Structure 1
């Protein structure tokens, strides 16, 4: 069963180490036959939130915003790749994702967090659970944390340890279970609102 998955990444920094994690998960999802959309805050670059997508009249949103809204609406789930900024979420990530709301409803989210140090960005992941839930995305129970990202993944996102690929497999097994279950519910029973 093929899934459509949007991968969100929110760093605007000049030296974006986290893009390694994004490349890694994009590759893993592609190997599992997902239709993958990479929602990179730097590429979409909507600027600071002024108007949400829903605040535009139909057909009047900027083209790139309309494009991403359509990807979100038609996705089975979302993987959010996040570094930790001051024990919290990257500002570029929250700004990108805040442009949308209803489009996310009743689709699961998996969290991949990273850091150059030993904690793997887990403090950001804890903040993300609340953030994503408030936006209508139940998060899967597993978190995939990547510590010492510059040692764990090369510049192209290739794993430097076999254990990374093995562990991401069980993370994605759980994520796909939720994608399938919630897609079935949406198709068979609709949504509560």
Structure 2
């Protein structure tokens, strides 16, 4: 059975560049035979966090939140595609992640970070590691930084440098290893 991977994108800005990276990584996961789905916060328009999904009576959460909860529960792994806003995590990404909790548990995450500059968003990635761990989806050791994002990919996610195909291989290999290991452990039962 193919691994189910959600690619969680973190920007709602009008002129966002990172959506190109999200499209690229989603396509690379699909090439591996994974059931890869891009989750774009623009498509779900979650409100600023007031009540978490778990705080609604069963079946009474807003439809976009119910849909996301179902997708998250069905996933084997997550890839977080995050820009760097003021050396930190984009607010739309934090908002998306914070609406859920138990739904994330016992699945690995991989961080693809980007920025307009040469550091590729790694400062946001370091903060994301702590947040993702607290949410129960610890990140794999490898990062996939993308410097100068506006020059790295076309609008449809096609890389401007073919070397990107090779660069993501180790990252995806590692995510697969962790996803399969945690999938096998979940099948045995949860630790509580």
TM-score range, shorter chain: over 0.9
Distance in 2, matches of 1:180 and 1:126, equals 24
Q: Which segment is superposed worse, 77-86 or 152-161? A: 152-161
Structure 1 moving runs of 4+ over 2 Å: none
The runs of 5 or more residues in structure 1 that have no matched partner are none
Given that residues 23 and 38 in structure 2 are in contact (C-alpha distance below 8 angstroms), is that contact kept between their aligned partners in structure 1?
A: no
Query: Normalised by the size of structure 1, how large is the TM-score?
Result: 0.97
Distance in 1, matches of 2:87 and 2:104, equals 25
Aligned runs of 1:114-125 on 2, under 5 Å? 114-125=114-125
Two-structure CA RMSD over aligned residues (Å): 0.8
Residues 126-168 of structure 1, C-alpha deviation per residue, up to 9 Å, x if partnerless? 0000010000011100000000112111111101112211010
Would you say 1:182 and 2:178 are equivalent positions?
no
Given that residues 82 and 113 in structure 2 are in contact (C-alpha distance below 8 angstroms), is that contact kept between their aligned partners in structure 1?
A: yes
Given that residues 109 and 138 in structure 1 are in contact (C-alpha distance below 8 angstroms), is that contact kept between their aligned partners in structure 2?
A: yes
Query: Normalised by the size of structure 2, how large is the TM-score?
Result: 0.98
Given that residues 10 and 42 in structure 1 are in contact (C-alpha distance below 8 angstroms), is that contact kept between their aligned partners in structure 2?
A: no
Distance in 2, matches of 1:37 and 1:57, equals 27
Q: Which segment is superposed worse, 167-176 or 154-163? A: 154-163
The runs of 5 or more residues in structure 2 that have no matched partner are none
1:89 maps to which residue?
A: 89
Distance apart, 1:49 and its partner CA: 0.5
1:9 maps to which residue?
A: 9
Aligned runs of 1:1-193 on 2, under 5 Å? 1-188=1-188, 190-193=189-192
Secondary structure of residue in 2 paired with 1:88: coil
Distance apart, 1:12 and its partner CA: 1.2
Q: Give the length in aligned residue pairs.
A: 192
Distance apart, 1:105 and its partner CA: 0.5
